Amino acid sequence: MKIAIGNDHVALKMKLQIKEYLQENEIEVIDVGTHSSERCDYPIYGEKVAELVVSGEADYGILICGTGVGISLSANKVNGIRACVCSEPYSAKLSKQHNNTNILAFGSRVIGIELAKMIVSEWLNAKYEGGRHQKRIDMIREIEKKQLFKLSEKKEDKS
Ligand code: RB5
């Protein structure tokens, strides 16, 4: 399995710890940065990880910022991404089983490293259940398609 991981300056230490945890578990990691504690903007890293996931270069993504909110919001702007912020393992597990999340996010200012590892483990080990959940995932996809259609209509109006 290949995981893309990204973070902002606030979450550098936790990103390195999670990266090590994944590698210890024989998981290949693509680290998109940031690689320093210099102040930076989380949307850059949210988008980078999201692009790797939708292109199939990574199976899943993990994003960490101060709260996990900004970086997951950014990733969710990329079509096909279902990112969720989790501060406990139950939601992480269910987010995979029911919502087929492809990116997990959390906040280095919110949770400690041991809880973060537990959340990652529950999420990675959970399997999407499909069945009755697929209809809702398809509905999310339809929202994305509608937005893209509106955008293309606007462009045509201008040309
Ligand atoms: C950076 O100060 C902080 O805003 C960021 O890490 C994150 O919490 C945003 O959602």
Rounded Cα gap, residues 5 and 7, in angstroms: 7
Per the annotation, the verdict on 98 as an active-site residue is yes
Residues 130, 80, 10, 15, CA torsion sign: positive
* Ligand 1 centre distance from Cα of residue 115 (Å): 19
* Ligand 1 centre distance from Cα of residue 58 (Å): 24
Ligand 1 pocket by Cβ (under 6 Å): 8, 10, 42, 65-67, 69-70
Rounded Cα gap, residues 11 and 91, in angstroms: 21
Mean pLDDT per block of 10 residues along the chain (159 residues) reads: 98 98 98 98 99 98 98 98 98 98 98 98 98 98 95 87
Per the annotation, the verdict on 86 as an active-site residue is no
The pTM of the whole model exceeds 0.85: yes
